[in-house]
A = this chain, B = another copy of it.
Amino acid sequence: MTKTTVTKDRRRAAEEIVNSVRLLQGVAQKQSREFVRQHKITGQQLGALRMVALSPGVSLGDLSERMFLHISSVSGIIDRLEKRGYVTRDRNGGDRRVVHLNVTEQGRRVIRRTPLAGMGLLIHTVHKLPDRQLRDILTGLKLILRVMKLDGGDARNG
């Protein structure tokens, strides 16, 4: 095999990778929108609702850590859930700075009748894969992660 051929293969592979990442983002977004249309609730809102259901009385700060999101983001998500009557905010614990979250009966109904979305769905899906595929995916992801971390700082040239 000539050097030129190898170079071409590399280029093609690199382009496919970048394209796959784009596709991945696109697919995820499209499915998210479809989910919203069907179930009248967003994936993030449902994820928050489920987490509150699993930890009644959880604080906003704790919830934000579990969701890997900024507190102010979660505050907004809870706003919308509260407005729709799915969760309640209580400030009657010992520390009155803390907001305690709870799911209403209506919120519980939503959880019962709505399938998984986002990360929850990914976990569900991934669990069903055969070993060989699990390993391949994991290897690839870790490589991307390492590469992104290393190269995040700089990379001159336009």
Contacts and interface: CB of A to CB of B under 8 A. Distances in A.
A139 B136 contact: yes
Contacts of A23: 145
B145 A14 contact: no
Interface in A101-126: 111-112, 114-116, 119, 121-126
Q: Which 4 A-B pairs have the closest CB atoms?
A: A140-B140, A20-B141, A31-B152, A137-B140
A139 B120 CA distance: 23
B138 A151 contact: no
Given A17-B138, A26-B68, A140-B140, A126 B147 contact: yes
Given A6-B131, A136-B143, A137-B143, A115 B154 contact: yes
A134 B139 CA distance: 11
B139 A14 contact: no
Please tell me how many copies of the chain the complex holds: 2
A127 B11 contact: yes
Contacts of A20: 138, 141-142, 145
Contact of A140 (B18, B50, B114, B141): B141
A36 to B, nearest CB: 13
A31 B149 CA distance: 8
A56 B130 CA distance: 49
A133 interface: yes
Given A17-B141, A155-B124, A147 B129 contact: yes
